Amino acid sequence: MANDSVILRFSDVSFEFSHNKPVLDEVNFSVRTGSRITLMGQNGAGKSTLFKMITGEIIPQEGNIFRTPKDASVAIARQVMPKDLAELSVRDYFATAFAEKKYNLDKLIKEVFGVVNVDLPLDRKVGELSGGQQARLLLAHALIQSPDILLLDEPTNNLDQAGIEHLTGFLMMYEKTVLVISHDADFLNAFSDGVLYLDVFTKKVEAYSGNYFDVVEEIKNRIERENLQNARAQTQIKEKLAQAEVFAHKGGKLRAVAKRMREAAEEAENAIVSVRQEDKTIRQFTIPAQDFGPFFDGKVLEFSSISAIRPHGIVSKTVDLVLRKNTHVVIAGPNGIGKSTLLEKIASGRGEGFILAKDTKIGYYKQDFSNFDFQQKAFDALKEAMAEYDEHLLRAAAAGFLLDGKLLDQPIAALSEGQKGLLSFCRLMLMKPGLLILDEPTNHINFRHLPIIAKALDAYSGTSLTVSHIPDFVSQFRVDQTIDLSAL
């Protein structure tokens, strides 16, 4: 439970990556000891950057960041596993959490594995684990440090429902200070007692008390009140200026009345408040399906066998499964059972147990975006997806996904994880795939965008394979068949 002492305080903090690219502008807020705070903001607003300031990885150009006490420890569970750690064993990965060698490391790992509900061989390479298993490792790596301030950056990404429920229960009982970035509204509402809102337009941070849904409603009501206040002020301005115009032309003493009317209009102008701009939402879109030609028999993907990963090894089952055009399939099963492995195999077109229709164009939303060249400009990633290049169409499509000219001119590595996700969807739209493969497509995406994305998937007339651990999202689009790997 939170108490009255302040453990973290930002005082007039300003930061920009480069000239005219500000992230924070004279930001002030404080966090009480033991509180559980949600950090909200649009994709690309700078939430992960703010976390890096708390850890000391980034130093602000102006202002100060205070911890009380000064030696209050901080640990962060990052969104994705750093690629340079992929070759480490699980044991060696946890060793990086400590400045000095821990002789009881195996015992500590076993204890923290109980907290995150996972059991993995300590000599296994991190890069060999599934996305869900890596998500648990990222969380466990932070928890094993027992920090005074725990930072969680999209902790539910790649977690199955059991993992999300376990994490939620842990955070509800956690007695130290927690700051969480997440786009999972239900998860946040279960334990949040306050919200810090990073406004992408003003570069300020607004502090709110209450649970997540209460704060979202408060923000909505505030915007409605401010818009109403401004509408009244605008009406008053028009009336006073019109009256001033009439009196001014009558001359004499009425000119003084006209002057007072203009002054009243100026006062009304000054009364207009700066309405906090709400998060932008992506535009409605469709993903056109590939035209296979007049002689296509309708069979996009045929399975002769399907495999699952079990604790004792790989289990395969012989099947006779044909997926035709306009068929939507969900691949289900717990973390680590091989869902992403199956999708990766199909996306690469290599492996046994399936046949793809000739010349099938595959659109692949990969959960870690590793199918992108991170040094490539975002513009070029979209350009190469188009069968016929049309710059106007490309930029119009990108704008619909909140990707403006400045973002398109940046290397993909410079985009936030949420912006990479929106870039992926824009690329799929321009590609016109015959087979759509979606591996955790809700990861990093602002929850306001999800109904629009689900609607596009529901309308897709090609064949789709989807892995998602968010039941509410899956319920919003048509599912013709479910392949449950845990049933093999």
Q: 215 falls in which pLDDT band (50, 70, 90)?
A: confident
Helix and strand element counts for the chain (H, E): 15, 17
On whether residue 292 sits in a domain, the answer given is no
Q: Does residue 407 surpass a pLDDT of 90?
A: yes
> pLDDT at position 21, please?
79
Q: Does residue 178 surpass a pLDDT of 90?
A: yes
Higher pLDDT, 133 or 18: 133
> pLDDT at position 177, please?
96
| CA dist., res. 447 & res. 189, Å (int) | 13
Note whether 201 and 350 are same-domain residues. no
pTM, two decimals, is 0.73
Average pLDDT score over residue span 25-42? 92
Q: Does residue 63 surpass a pLDDT of 90?
A: yes
Question: 361-383 pLDDT, tens per residue?
Answer: 999 999 889 999 999 999 999 99
DSSP alpha helix (H) spans, 349-416: 378-383, 391-400, 405-408
Note whether 24 and 167 are same-domain residues. yes
> pLDDT at position 278, please?
53
Percent over 70 (pLDDT), the chain: 93
How much helix, strand and coil, in percent to the nearest 5, is found in the chain? Answer: 40, 25, 40
On whether residue 234 sits in a domain, the answer given is no
Nearest CA to 436 out of 453, 420, 449 is that of 453
Note whether 207 and 303 are same-domain residues. no
Domain end residue (candidates: 170, 193, 216): 216
Note whether 204 and 326 are same-domain residues. no
On whether residue 262 sits in a domain, the answer given is no
Question: 158-176 pLDDT, tens per residue?
Answer: 788 888 888 888 888 888 9
On whether residue 236 sits in a domain, the answer given is no
Note whether 197 and 61 are same-domain residues. yes
Question: 432-454 pLDDT, tens per residue?
Answer: 999 999 999 998 888 789 999 99
Domain end residue (candidates: 187, 216, 245): 216
The CATH number given to whatever domain includes residue 68 is: 3.40.50.300
Note whether 12 and 119 are same-domain residues. yes
On whether residue 240 sits in a domain, the answer given is no
Note whether 324 and 204 are same-domain residues. no
On whether residue 311 sits in a domain, the answer given is yes
- For 142, counting Cβ atoms within 10 Å of its Cβ (0-12 exposed, 13-18 middle, 19+ buried), the class is buried
Note whether 153 and 18 are same-domain residues. yes
Cβ–Cβ < 8 Å for 154, 142: no
Structure tokens at 30: 């404080």
Question: 256-290 pLDDT, tens per residue?
Answer: 766 776 776 666 666 554 545 556 789 999 999 99
Note whether 195 and 47 are same-domain residues. yes
> pLDDT at position 267, please?
67
DSSP alpha helix (H) spans, 174-301: 185-189, 212-250, 254-271
Domain end residue (candidates: 163, 187, 216): 216
Residue 374 burial (CB count, 10 A): 14
Q: Could you list the residue range(s) of the whole structural domain that residue 374 is in?
A: 299-487
Higher pLDDT, 217 or 32: 32
Which residues are within 8 A (CB) of 114 and not within 5 positions of it... i.e. 6 or more apart? none
- The DSSP element (H or E) to which 435 belongs, if any, is strand 435-439
On whether residue 257 sits in a domain, the answer given is no
On whether residue 294 sits in a domain, the answer given is no
Note whether 183 and 328 are same-domain residues. no
Task: Count structural domains, the chain.
Answer: 2
Q: Tell me, what DSSP letter sits at residue 283? A: P
What's the gap between Cα 304 and its chain centre? 36
